[in-house]
Structure 1
């Protein structure tokens, strides 16, 4: 079977991926819980109705699609069961962007390789954009001493509720991640994951278009991807979406301590899921992935990946990965996007690299 399933097909990411698949002459199969909404989103394409992750996994085992693209968070909860369902007959792709989910899925490399299937995690804006820049900077070179990656999305917001899946991803912390407590940041020091301050390592970046943003440390999947791509013992991952003001950073320790209490976290998750956001245009013309790598001899290389609206790119990347998997271009095992396909993946989705070398 050559079907490509998009799980969470009525959501914003699912709809963007379906559009990008159709642009590549691939008719998606949309899967989700609500038959009426699926039919409206599918526009005549096939749908699969499944009321839970367990039912979705059962349908994957029964129908054996060629590729499954998972957009359903929190990925720490959904990815393990769905990957297991895929391995007998299907390749798997997801949009995870948190350390816990990305690390756990990559930890299944041996099982994926034994099954002869390709598993790709982090196939959204943050991991793919920053990892691609790191791969570009480090091509043909020994491992640098230190790497910092920054994701700077330009994202148009749709009106609507935050939703249970996103709220869960934001508030569940880092279950099972070594190096610190569940509600702490992370970084690499000496090749090991260690605790880091949430919103720490704040830096004012001047973008190539002349505008400026502040980025700060966040425990994101790009931390894992950047370390694996570069081999650097010291790595920081940061985002323009991270809290960077002194006031917010001052109250974060108390807020995260409260989230460690189960009933408080459940209450906060329900409340956040119900919050509605207003529609807004994207704040700048371009989104950016950024990395800077420093070698022990004093060489410093800096790179940028320029692309358009972040959500549209998050649709294009998994669609292009699916196209390549259908064409037989994958390899058995578990990967992040640029580790599998190199920087060309970002370019084929409309990204443009800008790099510079600075010797100090």
Structure 2
């Protein structure tokens, strides 16, 4: 078995390489800069791992880099600008594909534009394997089953600590989408617009804050497996008011890696007949946990757990079993209400 990590010199890529090393899986580090990749391998304790150089838009080089691997884990900081080339090359090389994308429109594109090609190639694509995407997807399924259905699903990500430079780059490059609210799901279709159905949101600590719509990736994946009248992401208005002023200078000043782990809570509220069941998924570090989960999913696919085409985590894996398995990464989940 051999797994390629694209973007291995980045913050999340390092954690993916570390997890592959821990599991003693043959790893290929792929990116555009050989020296950065070598340094990343050393930091991850994988000195001597195979290095292959390929730019995100060089189809031939990427396809060659993925030619003999079983799966590709893509850990890019900017999927909107750089992600599609990696997907196309993985499909062309006949390798399963997993990413840690948080950009809602990119996640939708994986299903709409690449699922059919992947199915024909006999490979599986799994996108949005982040704490936000995975917890939103799986907790919705578990909550809806316990409630006997879902009338409405509201998603919100609550984080602490600094973000990485890559995260800030993602925000900067997608600022128009973030501020416009992105997509929500309503009565059988996607709709756009900044106004949220619910203008206030209760945080896990009990504080109620004003919110606006926010383009959570779960809005795209949840309707694929759970029938719900509405699915929407929200974020505190105060956070969006800060985000809207991000500049190139802020990006240059941001740390490549945060000084401390970025702890988080992903909140999933499922409503049915006036009753709310709240799911909360939490973990010590959004970046580490995303890298670890992406490897976990890739190894499951190589072991035969997938099916050709593009699928969300909830379409491929038993939700409770997968959620419980995350304890290995100090991740926890609960349902209350």
Greater shift in the superposed pair: 143-152 or 6-15 = 143-152
What is the CA–CA distance in structure 1 between the aligned matches of 2:173 and 2:158, rounded to whole Å? Answer: 21
- Match for residue 59 of structure 1? 64
Alignment of 1:115 onto 2:109: no
Counterpart pick for 1:244 among 238, 248, 260: 238
1:182-216, Cα deviation, whole Å (9 max, x unpaired): 94533222222222327884534342xx4758465
Match of 1:90 among 92, 95, 98: 95
Q: 1:53 to 1:211 in 2, by over 3 A?
A: farther
Q: Corresponding residue for 1:31?
A: 30
Give the aligned partner of residue 44 of structure 2.
none
Distance 1:9 1:185 in 2: 29
Q: 2:172: which partner in 1? A: 170
Partner residue of 1:335 out of 297, 300, 311: 311
Distance 2:220 2:77 in 1: 19
Equivalent-residue separation in structure 1 for 2:135 and 2:151 (angstroms): 21
Match of 1:258 in 2: none
In structure 2, how many angstroms separate the alpha carbons of the residues matched to 1:306 and 1:106?
27
In structure 1, the gaps of 5 or more residues are: 176-180, 256-267
1:103 counterpart SS class: helix
Per-residue deviation, 1:92:
0.6
The structure 2 residue matched to 1:147, chosen from 149, 153, 156, is 153
Contact 2:180-2:193 at 8 Å conserved across structures = no
Give SS of 1:92's match.
Answer: strand
Q: Structure 2 stretches of 5 or more lacking a match? A: 42-46
The structural deviation recorded for 1:314 is 0.8
Spell out the pairing of 1:61-210 with structure 2 (5 A cutoff).
63-88=67-92, 89-107=94-112, 108-139=114-145, 142-155=148-161, 157=163, 162=165, 166-167=168-169, 170-172=172-174, 183-197=180-194, 201-207=198-204, 210=205
Q: CA RMSD in A?
A: 3.2
8 Å CA contact 2:155–2:216 kept in 1: the answer is no
Q: Using the alignment, how far apart are the partners of 1:59 and 1:198 within structure 2?
A: 46
Give the corresponding residue for 1:294. 271
Count the aligned residue pairs: 323
Deviation at 1:232, TM superposition (A): 0.9
Offset of residue 280 of structure 1: 4.1
Pairwise CA distance, 1:51: 3.8
User: 1:355 matched to which residue of 2?
Assistant: 335
Q: What are the Cα deviations for residues 212-257 of structure 1, in whole angstroms up to 9, with x where unaligned?
A: 5846531121221233342212111124xx54369x39x96xx7xx
**Within 2, Cα distance between the matches of 1:122 and 1:279?**
21
CA distance in 1, matches of 2:258, 2:140: 33
